[in-house]
């Protein structure tokens, strides 16, 4: 049993989940803000697009992303023009793919949390002289902490367990895009059942501990919020 082949994929999975969570909290908050507080043109279309990753099978999503991010696709070409390197089969590539894959899991809880905030509190903030941006950080965010926590948990766990999309877009490059879920799959395929078993247990434990920690934080916070 090679600890390298166990620790490295776990570390990549963790890095991927952390990076995706951070990016999606920002992007998700932005989209949720627009959907909750602004007039959005063709709103049903926009909302359906955001929710699409839930409806599509991961292999289909992975396939579309493969085309888009490949050297002939719109994203891939733009990226290559800007950074002179390919997007597919890189860690950056799978972070971007994960952001798409988990987008609705960030936007939905945040939108729900934002909508729960009493509008008059926001109006009071504007009356007191806060710009929309300041009001967002000083009023909306503190009063939707539960939403942020929920979004963070969902996105993190969803990404830890991601398989099909990362397989397609990542190409299972060892040390770069071979995440724990893929390593488990490959271990089974190559009859290395013990490796598969160890990886699975560790993955489950890590996810479970994360859930416990965040839940505890959430409960502590919950006492002072939204009276």
Partner 1 sequence: MIRVGVVLGLIFICALPAGASDEKVLAGVAANFMMPFQEMAAAFEKESGIHVESVFTSTGKLYAQIRNGAPYDIFLAADEERPELLFRDGLSGKPFVYAMGEVVLWSADRDFCARFADWEEAVRSNEVKRLAIANPESAPYGAAAVSALKASGLFDSLQAKYVFPQDIGQTFQYASTGAVQAGFCALSSAVTDQGKEGCYYTITQAPKVTQAACVLTRTNNREAAEKFAAFLLTPAGIQIKEKYGYR
Partner 2 sequence: MALTAEIRKRLSHFTLDVSIACPKGRILSIVGPSGSGKTTILRIIAGLDAPDEGVVVCGERVWLDTGGRVALPTQKRRLAMVFQDFVLFPHCSVFKNVCFAARDKSLAEALMKRFDIWHLRDSRPQSVSGGERQRAAICQALAREPEVLLMDEPFSALDPLTRRRLREAVADMKGELGIPIIHVTHDIREALFLGDEIVPVVQGRVFHKWLLQFMLTARDADLCRERAAMDNEGDVELELYNKRRGY
Residues 6+ apart with CB under 8 A from 179: 9, 12, 13, 16, 94, 162, 166, 170
For residue 145, the minimal CB distance to partner 2 (Å) is: 8
Is position 89 an interface residue for partner 1 (rule: CB under 8 A)?
A: yes
Is position 188 an interface residue for partner 1 (rule: CB under 8 A)?
A: yes
Is position 174 an interface residue for partner 1 (rule: CB under 8 A)?
A: yes
Count the site residues for partner 1 by CB under 8 A. Answer: 22
Convert residues 127-146 into a mask of x (bound to partner 1 by CB under 8 A) and - (unbound): --------------------
> Rounded CA gap, 68 and 173, in Å?
20
- Where helices occur in the chain by DSSP H, the ranges are 3-37, 43-55, 58-69, 74-83, 91-116, 119-127, 132-135, 145-160, 164-170, 180-189, 193-221
Cα separations in angstroms, 30 against 36, 99, 133, 163, 226? 10, 14, 11, 27, 21
Interacting positions 141-160 with partner 2 (CB under 8 A): 142-143
> Rounded CA gap, 167 and 114, in Å?
34
Among 88, 113, 122, 184, binds partner 1 (CB under 8 A): 88
- Which part of the chain contacts partner 2 (CB under 8 A), choosing from 17-25, 64-72, 127-135, 146-154? 127-135
Helix (H) or strand (E) holding 87: none
DSSP-derived secondary structure letter, 163? -
Choose among partner 1, partner 2, none what residue 179 binds, the Cβ cut-off being 5 to 8 Å by kind.
Answer: none
Convert residues 7-46 into a mask of x (bound to partner 1 by CB under 8 A) and - (unbound): ----------------------------------------
Is position 139 an interface residue for partner 2 (rule: CB under 8 A)?
A: yes
CB 141 within 8 A of CB 183: no
CB 166 within 8 A of CB 185: no
Among 21, 95, 136, 178, binds partner 1 (CB under 8 A): 178
- Total residue count of the chain as it appears in this document: 227
Among 4, 41, 81, 129, binds partner 2 (CB under 8 A): 129
For residue 207, the minimal CB distance to partner 1 (Å) is: 23
- Which part of the chain contacts partner 1 (CB under 8 A), choosing from 25-33, 117-125, 136-144, 165-173? 165-173
For residue 46, the minimal CB distance to partner 2 (Å) is: 25
Is position 116 an interface residue for partner 2 (rule: CB under 8 A)?
A: no
């Amino acid at each position: 049993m090679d600890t390298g082949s166990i620790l490295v994929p776990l570390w990549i999975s963790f890095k991927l989940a952390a990076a995706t969570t951070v990016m999606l909290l920002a992007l998700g908050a932005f989209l949720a803000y627009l959907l909750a507080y602004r007039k959005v043109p063709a709103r049903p279309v926009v909302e359906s697009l955001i929710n699409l990753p839930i409806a599509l099978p991961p292999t289909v999503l992975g396939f579309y992303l493969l085309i888009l991010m490949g050297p002939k696709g719109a994203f891939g070409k733009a990226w290559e023009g800007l950074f002179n390197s390919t997007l597919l089969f890189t860690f950056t590539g799978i972070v971007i793919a994960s952001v798409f894959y988990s987008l609705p899991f960030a936007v939905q809880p945040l939108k729900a949390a934002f909508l729960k905030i009493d509008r008059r509190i926001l109006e009071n903030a504007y009356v007191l002289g806060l710009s929309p941006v300041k009001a967002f950080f000083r009023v909306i965010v503190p009063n939707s902490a539960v939403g942020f926590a929920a979004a963070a948990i969902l996105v993190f766990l969803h990404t830890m367990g991601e398989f099909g999309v990362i397989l397609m877009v990542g190409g299972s490059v060892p040390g770069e895009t071979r995440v724990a879920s893929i390593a488990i799959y490959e271990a089974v395929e190559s009859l290395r059942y013990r490796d598969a078993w160890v990886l699975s247990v560790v993955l489950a434990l890590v996810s479970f501990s994360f859930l416990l920690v965040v839940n505890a934080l959430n409960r502590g916070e919950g006492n002072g919020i939204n009276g």
